[in-house]
């Protein structure tokens, strides 16, 4: 049995009062819109959080069938606009027979401003390992770019893929290649694929 002044009793009593309020209170669009657009009040206690959720639910319960259909259409349109993710065709951004030790850069910085994901595909037939470092910049300039995460080791005669997502976002992204030992044969090729 629940005690008379316990939190559970207050919650049940509050929920019953909320149901009665919904049944007896006329619908006010202005109040509903104001609640939805306003910043949430200080919700430091459990009771305040619960009261705020109940108020929002009251406003939603009072929507008519036509209003629910309109809201459903709006949400479906928004979701349809956000869900299509289309991958671009692979683009070759580096393709060379490296024969010296040194630092090399991708031919271009990839425009990542309107993309969701970016994958670099590395194919090395070099007889020496390399370091592949994704770099990024807010401008289309590889010289002033900064490192994105750490460098990826690419052993001799191997393949590698490097995926970047929203958390690694920079407006423009490229690759810096470092060879510590000069390769004597083989080729290093790097492609990018963007998902928009």
What CATH number did the domain enclosing 141 receive?
2.60.120.1110
Same domain, 97 and 189: yes
Same domain, 68 and 24: yes
What pLDDT was estimated at residue 101? 96
Closest CA to 178 of 103, 121, 120: 103
CA atoms of 156 and 5, how far apart (whole Å): 73
**Contact between residue 168 and residue 178 where contact means Cβ atoms under 8 Å apart:** no
Question: How many domains does the chain fold into?
Answer: 2
What pLDDT was estimated at residue 171? 87
What pLDDT was estimated at residue 20? 42
Closest CA to 178 of 122, 139, 118: 122
- The last residue of a domain, from among 65, 82, 99: 82
- The last residue of a domain, from among 18, 53, 82: 82
Same domain, 29 and 102: no
Same domain, 23 and 66: yes
What pLDDT was estimated at residue 35? 57
pTM comes to 0.57
Same domain, 100 and 78: no
- The last residue of a domain, from among 49, 82, 115: 82
Same domain, 113 and 176: yes
CA atoms of 179 and 65, how far apart (whole Å): 67
Tokens of 101: 């030790």
Same domain, 156 and 187: yes
Same domain, 139 and 63: no
Same domain, 97 and 169: yes
Residue spans of the chain under pLDDT 50? 1-24, 79-81
**Contact between residue 157 and residue 96 where contact means Cβ atoms under 8 Å apart:** no
CA atoms of 42 and 38, how far apart (whole Å): 12
- Specify if 1 maps to a domain: no
Residues facing 132 on adjacent strands? 152, 177
- Specify if 130 maps to a domain: yes
Same domain, 142 and 178: yes
What is the span of the domain harbouring residue 102? 91-195
Pairing of strands 172-179, 152-154: unpaired
Same domain, 54 and 105: no
CA atoms of 45 and 164, how far apart (whole Å): 39
């Amino acid at each position: 049995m629940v005690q008379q002044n316990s939190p559970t009793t207050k919650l049940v009593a509050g929920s019953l009062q909320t149901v009665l309020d919904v049944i007896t209170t006329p619908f006010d669009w202005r109040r509903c819109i104001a609640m939805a657009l306003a910043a949430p009040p200080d919700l430091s206690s459990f009771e305040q959080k619960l009261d705020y959720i109940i108020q929002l639910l009251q406003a939603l319960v009072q929507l008519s069938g036509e209003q629910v259909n309109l809201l459903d259409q709006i949400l479906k349109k928004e979701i349809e606009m956000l869900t299509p993710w289309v991958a671009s065709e692979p683009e070759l951004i580096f393709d060379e027979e490296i024969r010296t030790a040194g630092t090399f850069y991708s031919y271009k910085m990839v425009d990542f401003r309107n993309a969701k994901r970016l994958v670099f595909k590395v194919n090395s037939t070099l007889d020496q390992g390399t370091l592949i470092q994704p770099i990024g910049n807010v401008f289309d300039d590889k010289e002033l770019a900064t490192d994105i995460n750490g460098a990826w080791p690419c052993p001799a005669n191997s393949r590698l893929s490097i995926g970047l997502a929203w958390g690694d976002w920079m407006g423009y992204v490229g690759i810096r290649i470092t060879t510590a030992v000069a390769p004597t044969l083989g080729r290093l090729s790097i492609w990018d694929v963007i998902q928009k």
